[in-house]
Homo-oligomer: A and B are copies of this chain.
Amino acid sequence: MAERSVGLTAPNPPVGVIIVKDGRILSRGWTQEGGSPHAEIHAINQVRNKSLLKGSTIYSTLEPCSHRGKNPPCIDSIIKYKFKDVVISQKDKNPLVSGEGIKRLKGKGIKVIQRNFGNNINKLNNIFFNSVNKNKPYVCLKIASTADGKIATKTKESQWITGKQSRMMGHYLRSKNDCILVGRGTVEKDNPSMNCRIAGLDHTSPDIFILDTKLNLNLNSNIFKLKGRKVFIFHNCSKVHKKQYKNIKLIKLNNSFDTLDINKVITAISKKGYHRILVEGGSELSTSLLKCNLIDKIYWFRASKVIGNEGIGAISNLNIKKMSLVKNLKLENSTRLEDDILDIYSRG
């Protein structure tokens, strides 16, 4: 259930909850889109006759919150409906909660038990903790290349290298991330909308961050046309005609160089409450993330096609001379999608 809300809950973490009484499941809940209601309240709301909740146990993948954000604290409801005990997988490392929830529940005589729900749950929570406490969001890189690792012909044509199923999976990845990060070149080249075009999931299109150092991007591009999502542009210009960027948020990064500092970009995205970033190219952006060791996962879609060495490589220059310096990845999974292969790598 926590997995179900991944990519939809930022700046809140995806949480899953079950309410049990006398060995029977009363209800289930998960963090709702945009983060409210929280999983605990969603589960409580499912129970029509609230008197049933008295004496029941709530299982949650994360310590219930004790602070008031967009929502009232979850522990208030747990106390109000007289739950008997709370079983959690992990203490919330977010400094706004960080044991305060447990402490206040215990103060009201509610037993709190910590029990590890397994690695998948810990991973989900850690993505949230890293982003909130260290400004280190989870960065996924999506690559759609030929068998020889090219993402476009030398004339930058790339539609379509991969097949329909791969492209659908690409849309699904969008729905599972909080935002997309993309270089100017990629926006210019294909004029993409970069939304999730799976029927029923089209409302889950993530917000967009674009790197456009000199603010050269044509504002009539499709990427600016989709309603209901935020668009941010990182740039390095001292003078900007802000009027023309009315619906676009500009983020200025001071840099001594002509390129933007990718570490600063990632930190800035995290500070805005985004925990999961999907990077959709181009190769310069992918390469600088790889160089700085900022990529957590690569989804590499590989078509059964060959473009040859003049094509644009998925990864640009890494300045690697020796085999001993080659970047190692960890192969997590490999699946066939029609005539394509999807290889999933994590950090080596």
Contact = CB atoms under 8 A, between A and B. Distances in A.
A308 B318 contact: yes
Interface in A58-88: none
B322 A316 contact: no
Given A147-B345, A310-B319, A317-B310, A331 B327 contact: no
Interface in A117-172: 145-150, 153-155, 157-161
A329 interface: yes
A160 to B, nearest CB: 7
Nearest to A318: B308
A329 B307 CA distance: 11
Contacts of A302: 343
B148 A315 contact: yes
A321 interface: yes
Contacts of A326: 146, 153, 161, 305-307
Contact of A318 (B145, B306, B313, B331): B306
Contact of A306 (B155, B290, B304): B290
A311 B319 CA distance: 9
Interface stretch (A19-27, A200-208, A240-248, A334-342): A334-342
B323 A313 contact: no
Given A149-B147, A315-B148, A341-B341, A304 B330 contact: yes
B304 A348 contact: yes
A316 to B, nearest CB: 5
Given A304-B345, A309-B313, A331 B320 contact: no
A56 to B, nearest CB: 45
A315 B306 contact: yes
| Secondary structure class of chain A's binding surface, majority of residues | loop
B321 A154 contact: yes
A300 interface: yes
A268 to B, nearest CB: 26
Contacts of A146: 326
B343 A147 contact: yes
Nearest to A154: B321
Contacts of A313: 148-149, 308-309, 313
A159 B315 CA distance: 21
A145 B323 CA distance: 12
A314 interface: yes
Contacts of A329: 147, 304-306
A256 interface: no
A49 interface: no
A328 interface: yes
A283 interface: yes
A49 B71 CA distance: 92
Contact of A308 (B310, B316, B331, B343): B316
Given A148-B313, A330-B339, A331-B336, A308 B323 contact: no
A306 B321 contact: no
Given A159-B323, A307-B327, 4 more contacts: A160-B323, A304-B345, A306-B329, A341-B343
11 contacts: A147-B300, A153-B320, A154-B320, A306-B318, A307-B326, A308-B319, A308-B320, A310-B320, A330-B339, A331-B336, A341-B343
